[in-house]
Amino acid sequence: MKLYPLLFEPVLKERIWGGQRLGDLFGKNVPAGARIGESWELADLPEGQSIITNGPLQGQTLHQILESCGTEITGIPNYRPPFPLLIKFLDAQDVLSVQVHPDAATCKRLGNCQPKTECWYIIEAAPQAVIYKGLKPGTTRQQFAGAIADGTCEQYLVNVPVQAGECHFLPSGTCHAIGAGLIIAEIQQPSDTTYRVFDWNRTDPQTGKPRALHIDEALESIHFDASGDRLSVETVGRLVDADEFKVDKCHQAASVQVLLSGRMRVLIILAGKGQISAQGLEPICFQKGQTLLIPAAFEGVMHFASPCHYLTVTI
């Protein structure tokens, strides 16, 4: 069967810090009153599996089609799992925990975890919204461990005011937190390994107890020799150019764009709408809030019904 651009059913995740904005902004099927913090747009993990919603492959999971035609989809010769990307929308109505994700070397030492480098594209930001990105220069492991113990670790975090249109790169080993009032597109390696060091003294509304912390693992994972003031922020063109993935910001005012075969693309549609066509293919319509996987083997044309703002992710 000839491969074609794939659309997926979002996997919604309730979080203590989430809200209703992904329904308001992107039309996600957010239950009334639910605190939906994450919409997993493209995932092949045990914790979340994307299901195709269009064309002859409708109803199959991303994992199933990768088993049968992984190389044709990803463009990776002799493809073997895992799928190299995890794409999410985040609705942070409250601040997230202070946390870190391990790198590959740390995962080898700790075992039973997966590395995660990520980036955050700011879609919407409330006035005075901030993120916490890395540690201040000179912060030592001993200092930070003491601050965790007495609940004052915020003093060592780099506080960064943010606005819509920015992309912040966070390599694995970076201590970080997302502040309140932000809608974010998160592009990352396929891992949900998160080590919390501080959760702002919150309790889980369902259990009434504080959420679990992972202080030993976090201290082992943090890169104390890489201060957060040097981490990049981009607003135009190539936003991320890392070994793990590349992200480009696109604003298409013209009516047509040709899609050539040879590499997989993931399109995250942030504004506008259109359709993709190819010989022998029913047109595939897309709109704001959708994420499309364009297989490496596919060739076709994108037609834009209105100016379209989107992110293109490649590996």
For residues 18 and 48, give the distance between their C-alpha atoms in angstroms, rounded to a whole number.
Answer: 18
CA 221 to chain centre: 20
The count of other CB atoms within 10 Å of the CB of residue 3 is 18
For residues 61 and 49, give the distance between their C-alpha atoms in angstroms, rounded to a whole number.
Answer: 7
Q: Decide if 44 contacts 50 (C-beta within 8 A).
A: yes
Residue in 15, 196, 238, 265 annotated catalytic: 196
**Which H or E element spans position 68?**
helix 62-74
| Tokens describing residue 7 | 């659309």
Q: Decide if 208 contacts 147 (C-beta within 8 A).
A: no
CA angle 232, 233, 238 (to 5 degrees): 95
Tokens 């912390």 belong to 213
Q: Decide if 219 contacts 124 (C-beta within 8 A).
A: no
Q: Residue 57: which residues within 8 A CB-CB, separation 6 or more?
A: 1, 6, 65
Q: Coil, strand or helix: which one is 272? A: coil
Taking alpha carbons only, the member of 288, 236, 291 closest to residue 87 is 291
N- to C-terminal Cα separation, the chain: 24
Residue 196 is among the residues annotated as catalytic for this protein: yes
Please give the positions annotated as active site.
196
